[in-house]
Amino acid sequence: MSRTITILGATGSVGASTLDLVRRNREQWQVGALTAHSRAGELASLAREFGARLAVIADETQFPALKEALAGSGVEAAAGREALCEAAARPADLVMAAIVGCAGLAPVMAAIEQGRTVALANKEALVSAGEVMTAAVERHGARLLPVDSEHNAIFQCLQGGRLDEVRSITLTASGGPLRTWTPAQLDAATPAEAIAHPNWDMGAKISVDSATMFNKGLELIEAHHLFPIPLERIRILVHPQSVIHSMVEYRDGSTLAQLGPSDMRVPIASCLAWPERMETPMPPLDLAAVGELTFFEPDEARFPATALARQAAEAGGAAPAVLNAANEIAVEAFLAGKIAFSRIALSVRSVLEAGNLPPAPRTLDDVLMIDEAARAMARERLEVR
Ligand code: NDP
């Protein structure tokens, strides 16, 4: 029996890893909708290859190019943000949410409102919407399967255990490519240096987040929503080899960890096959070749992002959405060569601490308004368009 998968963000890094696994198991999957932002040519060729029913491009100016590239293929084409949500809401056994940023939030919510099983890579959506999303999951009988390698590891370590027996959760962090750099070196870090992750091959935004440690900060908030235990019991530990993807300590002193290669196809496969297991092309884990696993406390003086994220998570309400929006704008400005690396965290702090946080969001529209206002403030403070 084949299952239907929809992939939001099909042309990205997580999209490619997901499609690689689907390609290896073609008889098990029908591809429903595939979406992208602006790369119409790439989207059309994936839609043709996988015989997708629908291809949606978010950027409407690319609609003519998409239609032309799909001519005669039998794949339906659509464009715009509404069309993204309609694609996400179509019947599917699994919706892979792999758009980057809060731009993915409305489509994720559209899938949740249909009670779908959503494999969630798009952490910014959950960070921004928080309880609005988790309440919708509950209300509509949807399910979130965590794709992020750390959260997928925790999810696996919790199989057979109960959250009320958990003493602590430890999120491991590689520390990123700039982990050992001095403050002066960090200040001068270029986008190419920040993106050159030692262990993972990922999209540009998450690579920069990994270099600033905002990725771990966002993951802290993500973990708090997915595995609701008190924040102070969720820890961050730098582990440069990225072999242990996260750990759960139970109250009897047992710690369970999930280990594996630094390849997103492992956690993605765990979501695709859940609650079963599937083959992946990964070679067996060779710990003798790895030799040594090391661990360090995070240095929040050089990398203040995790402290800022904890502050936002503790404040709750609108704060995580503000933190996320300010970070998205700062990363965009850094990647465009408009600001220095160290200004990313400074800028997020200044938006977060500007005072007068809006009231806690209760609906998707509230979250989108908070996101928009925080983006405007971040742009203004950075003086970038
Ligand atoms: P990429 O930048 O590689 O891909 C992003 C995808 O989203 C592309 O398909 C892109 O389309 C699409 N997209 C971008 N902006 C918009 C928009 N405004 N509206 C609609 N679609 C959009 O990102 P990643 O695959 O690296 O990351 C995706 C998500 O998964 C992120 O939230 C990230 O944090 C998370 N994640 C990623 C991991 C990884 O290994 N890459 C690991 C764990 C989590 P187009 O190609 O046309 O621009």
| Centroid of ligand 1 to alpha carbon of 37 (angstroms) | 9
- pLDDT at 355 (0 to 100): 81
Ligand 1 atom closest to Cα of 122? 32
Residue whose CA is closest, atom 13 of ligand 1?
A: 37
Q: Tell me how far the alpha carbon of residue 99 is from its chain's centroid.
A: 8
Domain ranges of the chain: 3-146, 149-300
- Ligand 1 center–CA 243 separation, angstroms: 23
| Cβ atoms 122, 104 nearer than 8 A | yes
Where are the strands (E) in the chain, listed by range? Answer: 3-8, 29-36, 54-57, 76-79, 94-97, 117-120, 143-146, 166-173, 234-238, 244-250, 255-259
Among all chains, which residue has been given the structure tokens 């690319």? Answer: 62
pLDDT digits (tens, 9 = 90+) for 179-192: 999 999 999 999 99
Given the CA of residue 207, which atom of ligand 1 is nearest to it?
A: 26
Confidence (pLDDT) at 1: 82
| C-beta of 216 in contact with ligand 1 (< 6 A) | no
| CA of 200, closest atom in ligand 1 | 40
Predicted pLDDT of residue 385: 65
The tokens describing 338, both together, are: 């408009």
| Ranges in the chain, pLDDT < 50 | none
Closest residue CA from atom 39 of ligand 1: 202
Q: What is the pLDDT of residue 121?
A: 98
- Helices 343-352/204-212 angle, 10° precision: 80
State the pLDDT at residue 198.
86
* Residue of the CA atom closest to atom 36 of ligand 1: 121
Pick the residue whose CA is nearest to atom 19 on ligand 1. 37
Q: Is the CB of 178 under 6 A from ligand 1?
A: no
Note the pTM of the prediction, 2 decimals. 0.98
Which pLDDT belongs to residue 197?
A: 87
Q: Is 1.20.810.10 the CATH number for 3-146?
A: no
